[in-house]
Amino acid sequence: MLKLDLHIHSQYSEDGMGTPKEIIKNLQKKGLNGMAITDHNTVEGGLKSLKVAPKDFIVITGVEISTRDGHIIGLDVKENIPRGLSAEETIDKIIDLGGTPIVPHLFRNMSGVKKEKLKKFHNKLSAIEVFNSCSLPKTNLKTAKVAKQYNLGGTGGSDSHDPAYVGHAYTTVDTTDTTVDSIIFMINKKKTWGEGTTMPLDYRQGRMIKSVNQFFKRGFKRI
């Protein structure tokens, strides 16, 4: 059984901190086998991670794209995708690049894709994020029910913006094959799930305050 944190932000996100090397070191200390750096609207962190990761640590390149309808994660993507498209258009672009689209934190107010939108394109997905460490436990349970309702697999990610908190959530993959192709295959076959623990309250409160402050500084524009 492999465990990978598939939703992490590094210093290449405008609201993140920590180098890929620091993030990898902390994940290894916590016994995880790999990760995806999913910085906001840039693949730079993921590409950098490929260069610094040890051979026994799995790195899947990724990006979290800001769409008109909320955030969409693209896994196994090595090119930037324009922000501001609809969620469905963004998913199509991820697939065109050979990547795997994931809907994260479904019910989040500022950046989650709403269930009504998901209904329109869930057939283009293999998985949604069923455990996000920055979400409340009841919200993760609610999302897991949606995944089962639509016969989708699940992923887990910490959504950490600080390397100290990576690995709080992870995706479980029932395989011993550590190649990226094998893990992506399992996600696309709907054979993965998300598990973990919720972030400490002080971290979540701090993230919320910081996000609101950044929202005002950007001129009421979402990240």
Q: Return the closest-CA partner of residue 44 out of 70, 19, 71, 15.
A: 19
- The whole-number pLDDT of residue 110 equals 73
Cα angle 164, 166, 167; round to 5: 130
Average pLDDT, integer, range 74-86: 97
User: Burial level of 220, CB count in 10 A (0-12/13-18/19+)?
Assistant: exposed
Average pLDDT, integer, range 208-214: 60
d(CA 70, CA 113) in angstroms, rounded, equals 5
Q: Evaluate if residue 218 carries a pLDDT over 60.
A: no
- The whole-number pLDDT of residue 25 equals 98
Average pLDDT, integer, range 50-62: 97
Q: How confident is the model at residue 199 (pLDDT cuts 50, 70, 90)?
A: confident
112 found inside a domain:
yes
Inter-axis angle of helices 44-52 and 20-29, to 10 degrees? 60
74: helix, coil or strand? strand
The pLDDT tens digits of the residues spanning 4-24 come to 999 999 999 988 899 999 999
- The whole-number pLDDT of residue 20 equals 97
- The whole-number pLDDT of residue 135 equals 92
The pLDDT tens digits of the residues spanning 132-152 come to 999 999 999 999 999 999 999
120 found inside a domain:
yes
Average pLDDT, integer, range 179-183: 97
223 found inside a domain:
no
Compare 71 and 114 and report the one with higher pLDDT. 71
212 found inside a domain:
yes
User: At a CB cut-off of 8 Å and minimum separation 6, what does 145 contact?
Assistant: none
Average pLDDT, integer, range 147-167: 96
213 found inside a domain:
yes
Q: Evaluate if residue 50 carries a pLDDT over 90.
A: yes
The DSSP code sequence of 150-200 is TT-EEEEE--BSSGGGTTSEEEEE--S---HHHHHHHHHTT-EEEEE-PPP
Q: Evaluate if residue 222 carries a pLDDT over 70.
A: no
b/e sequence 171-188, b meaning 16+ C-beta within 10 Å: bbbeeeebebeebbebbb
8 found inside a domain:
yes
Please name the amino acid found at residue 150: Y
Average pLDDT, integer, range 199-205: 74
Q: Find the length of the chain.
A: 223
Average pLDDT, integer, range 76-99: 97
55 found inside a domain:
yes
107 found inside a domain:
yes
Q: How confident is the model at residue 212 (pLDDT cuts 50, 70, 90)?
A: low
CATH label of the domain that carries residue 104 = 3.20.20.140
Q: State how many domains the chain has.
A: 1
The residue segments making up the domain with residue 83 are: 2-217
- The whole-number pLDDT of residue 109 equals 77
